[in-house]
Every structure is written in structure tokens, then in C-alpha cells.
């Protein structure tokens, strides 16, 4: 969809308000594949096909024995548990346990550095209207050595107003719109730069606004949360750790939020 943030938000809310599905299942293709296992999610009705849709589709298959595993992670602990749940469904519980242990060890290794200061941070999961990232993102910010000023661990993302952002006035702003890659997020910068008082934010004035690939990383409750953590560490404490994500998964937005001038940090 090439529509802007505001238009996408309006269309999605209209569909949900009218109890219409945002997605359409290709049931014929799924039936032809004859899956033994179907993975779906019940965490967000906007992000993917709903559990109810999948269940309804499978019910229509005469004699179908496909197992449905629905995941609903809201925090880091839930993400690890979801991986174990999938491994169990695949009859590979030991491999799942080893994989989760490896992810936990990567988290421990990534966060093993000095945190002399914890800057205040606002992570924006949508830009027009503004939405603060919740669920596992506040936990990642804390692990990365920052203080998330809006999101609450384990709770869904919530809408905020520009006046609330102005009042809190965080030191660092990190943009991670749901479903947008790095290029698309850069394009959406114009939405913010035209907002009243945007340029008065200290993060904008000090060049501490960062654009990320939310679709590949922060929005996905899976193994990539470890890379998401590494990205946050690179942004919040660049002198401490580098993992090679700069320029690929995140960029520093040019001062004053110009959508046409995006530069990588030195």
C-alpha cells in the first residue's frame, strides 16, 4: 500500500469498526498444500490474519487434521515461550530449548557493557497519528541502557498526542513504524516535519532522531528481537558497542527532520 500513514490508519480503523477483515485467506491454496501444522497469531488483529479466520477456514475442510498453533506474545518472556511452543508442535522441543538458550546468551553478551547514563527515549510505532511502541520494545530499551518514556512492558502500543511528546521531550526519538522498512520510514519523515512544534523537540534540535526498519526487526516478536536490541544499543550507546546494523537497519535522520536529507552517522 502506497498510502500515507494517516490514510492507512483511517482505512484500517474503518475495517475494524465495521467488523471486516483486513486480510483475505487464499483457502484453496492452503487446502492444496495439505499442511500438518498452521501457525497464526492472536497478538494483533491488524498485523496478520486472525485466529478466527484461520479456524473458520480449517473447519470448512472435510476431514482436515491440520493442527493450529496460535501465538500471542506480549513481552520478551512470551517470545521465548512462543519459540518453544512452535518447537513442541514440530516435535523438536530439544532444538527449541537450545535455540532459546542461544538467544538468551546473545542478549546477555550484547548488554554486557558499561551504561554510564540512561537517556530518555520515545519509540514511535506509528507516525500519523502518533503511537508509542509497547509490548517487548520497552524491555529492549531498558536492556539497551535507555529509559522508555511512553511504552509499558507487556502492554499493547498506545496512541499519544504531539503535546504529550512535547511535554516529556525525550532526549532520543526512534521511529519504527509497524510494517514499514527503512526506505518507507524515511519517506514518512515528512509527516513529522510538518507537525506543529516538531522542530522544538530537543531530540530534533540535537540530531538525535533515528529511523529504523521496523518491519524486519522491532515489529516482529521472534528471534530478530536480539538484532533489535543490538540496534538500540548502537543508537543509545554508540561508543560502547557496534554490531554492524548502521546503514542497513537504521539511520540518523538529518537535523530538523527534513525528509530529503537522511545521513548515516559517522
pLDDT tens for 229-254 read 999 999 999 999 999 999 999 999 97
Is it true that domain 120-263 has CATH number 3.40.50.1980? Answer: yes
pLDDT for 59: 67
Kindly report the pTM of this predicted structure: 0.84
Share of the chain above pLDDT 90, in %: 59
| pLDDT averaged over 10-residue windows placed end to end, the chain, 266 residues | 54 42 71 85 65 70 73 94 96 98 98 91 94 96 97 90 95 94 90 88 96 95 96 96 96 62 42
Domain borders along the chain are 1-72, 120-263
In order, the DSSP letters of the chain are ----HHHHHHHHHHHHHTT--SS---HHHHHHH--SEEEEE-S-TTTS--HHHHHHHHHTSTT---EEEEE---SHHHHHHHHHHHHHHTT-HHHHHHHHHHHHHHHHHHT-S--S---EEEEEEEETTEEE--BTHHHHHHHTT-EESS--BTS--EE--HHHHHHH--SEEEE--TT--HHHHHHTHHHHHTSTTGGGSHHHHTT-EEEE-TTTTTT--STTHHHHHHHHHHHH-TTT---S-BTTTEEEEPGGG-TT-EE---
Amino acid at each position: 500500500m502506497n498510502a500515507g500513514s494517516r490514510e492507512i490508519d483511517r482505512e484500517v480503523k474503518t475495517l475494524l469498526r465495521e467488523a471486516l477483515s483486513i486480510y483475505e485467506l487464499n483457502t484453496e491454496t492452503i487446502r492444496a498444500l495439505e499442511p500438518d501444522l498452521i501457525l497464526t497469531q492472536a497478538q494483533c488483529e491488524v498485523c496478520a490474519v486472525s485466529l478466527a479466520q484461520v479456524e473458520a477456514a480449517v473447519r470448512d475442510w472435510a476431514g482436515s487434521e491440520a493442527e493450529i498453533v496460535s501465538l500471542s506474545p506480549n513481552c520478551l518472556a512470551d517470545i521465548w515461550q512462543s519459540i518453544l511452543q512452535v518447537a513442541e508442535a514440530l516435535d523438536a522441543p530439544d532444538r527449541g530449548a537450545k535455540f532459546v538458550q542461544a538467544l538468551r546468551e546473545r542478549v546477555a553478551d550484547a548488554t554486557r557493557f558499561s551504561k554510564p547514563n540512561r537517556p530518555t527515549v520515545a519509540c514511535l510505532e506509528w507516525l500519523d497519528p502518533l503511537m508509542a511502541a509497547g509490548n517487548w520494545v520497552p524491555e529492549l530499551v531498558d536492556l539497551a541502557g535507555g529509559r522508555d518514556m511512553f511504552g509499558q512492558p507487556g502492554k499493547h502500543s498506545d496512541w499519544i498526542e504531539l503535546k504529550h511528546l512535547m511535554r516529556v521531550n525525550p532526549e532520543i526519538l526512534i521511529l519504527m513504524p509497524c510494517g514499514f522498512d527503512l526506505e518507507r520510514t524515511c519517506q514518512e519523515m515528512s509527516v513529522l516535519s510538518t507537525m506543529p512544534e516538531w522542530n522544538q523537540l530537543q531530540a530534533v534540535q540535537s540530531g538525535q532522531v533515528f529511523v529504523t526498519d521496523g518491519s524486519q526487526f522491532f515489529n516482529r516478536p521472534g528471534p530478530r528481537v536480539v538484532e533489535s536490541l543490538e540496534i538500540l544499543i548502537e543508537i543509545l550507546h554508540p561508543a560502547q558497542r557496534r554490531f554492524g546494523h548502521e546503514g542497513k537497519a537504521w539511520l540518523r535522520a538529518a537535523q530538523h527532520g527534513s525528509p530529503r536529507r537522511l545521513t548515516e552517522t559517522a
